[in-house]
Structure 1
């Protein structure tokens, strides 16, 4: 219904922005990441989603379309509503959150507020394939980099874990490999080569 709002930041909270558009103040629930990107008095654009419940309507929005896309996918997971999804995006930058899901890092997801072990495992189970297909083209920003050729990368990681290597070591090594146009076997071979010289 409302794709985006462009207006002046009137009031700023860690989890909410009041945006003045045409002399009307719209309260937009948001993540800490998007809130911190704003300053009172500046003109900004928030990409939004209207959450309609039986007893309430909540406007949720973010400073980028990509973060909104991640939010919408998170809320498709059973048991995760807007509040938990926003909390997760406030605790972990959306690019890093996406990387964790694609790599199956349930332990990393548990660092997000409101995300316990079962919820983290459910997020990985229900969203890993969706994120790999729809979000692998997200841009790199502020030190967060998306894995290249995510299907090959995840298969290579799983294979090396099965060989007895620690997941954290494998992810660190494979993140250094440009896996575009490589097969799973190629990635594993290069990873083993890098480990041999450490």
Structure 2
């Protein structure tokens, strides 16, 4: 399996990056914060996980091996596939997830689109003894992004996570005054906290 990818970013989307590896363009699905930290033409290094299905092979990429390991571990929970696992890591860092699971914090887990109360309870039950041992879980969540059109990036990320355009725009408007946009990842988390209220 492909455990890591490094090369030049050919294309950067909202939640995906095409990485040119010696002339081969690999499509890598990522959390929005990871994609936001990549720049077209710049060098990219991602820890990856390959999900093989009967009709597809999909590559998922993360800023650190601890995120990738958490992504793979979360999928051992019944009913959690790659899409939900990616949504979890788009909303929570590995440390926040481990903390929520250890404290049986259902409210935090249900902030993730696609996870209801029963799903959150199942995650806390099945991962309770596994998450704290994930190596590299304390690694940085992703590179910071220069100030710019961060509002658009955050709004697009929220829509990608399942919120409506109006909900996304309202949440971004509420955090705009206190957030300088120096880090899209922290802005996204702040917007998600607004939506969870």
> TM-score when scaled to structure 2?
0.66
5+ residue gaps, structure 2? 142-197
Tell me the secondary structure at the aligned position of residue 50 of structure 1: strand
CA contact (8 A) 2:66 2:139 kept: no
In the other structure, the counterpart of 1:52 is 52
Task: Tell me what 1:117 maps to.
Answer: 117
Partners of 1:135 and 1:49 in 2: how far apart?
15
How many residue pairs are counted as aligned between the two chains?
141
Change (3 A) 1:33 1:98: farther
Q: Match of 1:104, SS?
A: coil
TM-score (norm 1): 0.66
DSSP-derived class of the 1:115 partner = coil
Work out whether residues 3 and 50 of structure 2, in 8 Å CA contact, stay in contact via their aligned partners in 1.
Answer: no
Q: Secondary structure at the match of 2:124?
A: helix
Q: Which one has more relative contact order, counting CA pairs under 8 Å at least 6 apart?
A: 2
Q: CA offset at residue 141 of structure 1?
A: 5.4
Q: Provide the alpha-carbon RMSD of the alignment.
A: 1.8
Question: Separation in 1 of the partners of 2:134 and 2:102?
Answer: 9
Alignment of 1:88-167 (within 5 A): 88-132=88-132, 134-135=133-134, 138-139=137-138
* Alpha-carbon spacing, 1:49–1:136, altered in 2? closer, same or farther (3 Å): closer
Q: Tell me by how many angstroms 1:14 deviates.
A: 2.0
Structure 1, unaligned stretches of length 5 or more?
143-198
Mark the structure with the bigger radius of gyration.
1
Distance 2:48 2:113 in 1: 22
Q: Is the 8 A contact 1:33 1:89 kept in 2?
A: no
